[in-house]
């Protein structure tokens, strides 16, 4: 895989989403310069309630200096939501909002309209109610992608952390995203420093149809990007298939050609976005 030139990965295709504590501005610049496809400055769970105002202001000032990032704001039912909206709504370099604890389409739409209909909303679904209503959340005005708050979901439901137990909510988000015509959802983070476990969990996300993953540390981003990514052999196959298809005048030979063409085009699009150029 050649990454001599690393293009900016658009948010609809982004694999690694690095959560950065909004109360620690010394981390902002190095996070922006990391291998994360996108960064999210977190002024929700990462910040103690007594420090919310200060963290919000630090995040706003960093963005107003021309830096780009997403911001995870507090949930619609919290006392902090309106203050988050008011402070962030006019900042042009803000790339979008991640809305914590989304449980209803109205949560997304209130946030979208509160932000002046100018910023995309990632709905972070973290509860049983949110999972059951994921289809409607995905269809809400302003919804851009769904994300899975896996830790809070386990806390809400008592579900174990193993792959089988967590397959249902992840699959619900994948299906809901398709119904809402959204990009694939973003999986929850892997806690801990083990890269083999992170790789295994990222591979499981891909198997279920999720196309991104939250990261808690800079060094996790490389692993996530490498895992949620077409392989060199995938890219070679895709480009050879498309070249052959064009060479034969785009003639359909059998019922497998169109599905294979669709897969090849998707792989080629991702490879271009991720700067994958197998030699």
In sequence order, what DSSP letters do the residues of 71-120 get, joined into one string?
EEEPPTTSSSHHHHHHHHTT-TTEEEEEETT--SHHHHHHHHHHTTT-S-
**CATH class in words for 16-227:** alpha beta
The answer to whether the predicted template modeling score (pTM) of the entire model surpasses 0.85 is yes
Question: In Å, what is the CA distance from 246 to each residue of 237, 251, 265, 279?
Answer: 14, 8, 12, 21
Domain residue limits, the chain:
16-227, 232-274
Report helix, strand and coil shares of the chain as percent, to nearest 5: 50, 15, 40
**Residue 153 structure tokens:** 């979901």
**Burial bucket for residue 139 (CB in 10 Å: 0-12, 13-18, 19+):** middle
The answer to whether residues 16 and 220 touch, using CB atoms and an 8 Å cutoff, is: yes
> Which residues does 255 contact at the CB level (< 8 Å), separation at least 6?
none
**Residue 14 structure tokens:** 């982004």
**pLDDT by position in tens, the chain (length 279):** 333 345 689 999 999 999 999 999 999 999 999 999 999 999 999 999 999 999 999 999 999 999 999 999 999 999 999 999 999 999 999 999 999 999 999 999 999 999 999 999 999 999 999 999 999 999 999 999 999 999 999 999 999 999 999 999 999 999 999 999 999 999 999 999 999 999 999 999 999 999 999 999 999 999 999 999 888 888 999 888 888 888 888 888 888 888 888 888 888 888 888 888 887
Token pair 């392989």 in the structure block, residue = 231
The answer to whether residues 61 and 31 touch, using CB atoms and an 8 Å cutoff, is: no
């Amino acid at each position: 895989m050649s990454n001599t030139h690393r293009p900016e990965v658009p948010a609809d295709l982004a694999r690694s989403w690095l959560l950065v504590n909004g109360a620690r501005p010394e981390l902002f610049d190095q996070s922006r310069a990391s291998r994360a496809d996108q960064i999210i400055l977190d002024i929700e769970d990462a910040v103690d309630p007594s420090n919310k105002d200060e963290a919000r202001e630090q995040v706003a000032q960093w963005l107003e200096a021309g830096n780009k990032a997403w911001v995870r704001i507090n949930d619609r039912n919290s006392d902090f939501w309106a203050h988050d909206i008011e402070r962030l709504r006019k900042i042009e370099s803000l790339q979008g909002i991640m809305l914590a604890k989304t449980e209803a389409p109205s949560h997304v739409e209130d946030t979208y309209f509160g932000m002046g209909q100018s910023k995309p909303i990632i709905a972070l679904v973290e509860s049983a109610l949110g999972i059951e209503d994921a289809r409607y959340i995905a269809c809400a005005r302003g919804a851009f992608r769904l994300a899975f708050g896996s830790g809070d979901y386990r806390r809400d439901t008592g579900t174990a952390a193993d792959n089988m137990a967590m397959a249902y909510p992840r699959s619900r988000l994948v299906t809901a995203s398709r119904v809402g015509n959204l990009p694939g959802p973003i999986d929850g983070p892997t806690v801990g420093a083990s890269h083999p476990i992170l790789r295994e969990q990222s591979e499981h996300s891909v198997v279920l149809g999720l196309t991104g993953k939250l990261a808690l540390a800079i060094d996790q981003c490389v692993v996530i990007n490498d895992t949620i990514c077409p392989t060199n052999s995938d890219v070679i196959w895709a480009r050879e298939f498309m070249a052959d298809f064009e060479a034969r005048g785009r003639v359909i030979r059998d019922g497998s050609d169109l599905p294979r063409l669709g897969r090849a085009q998707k792989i080629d699009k991702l490879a271009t976005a991720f700067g994958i150029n197998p030699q």
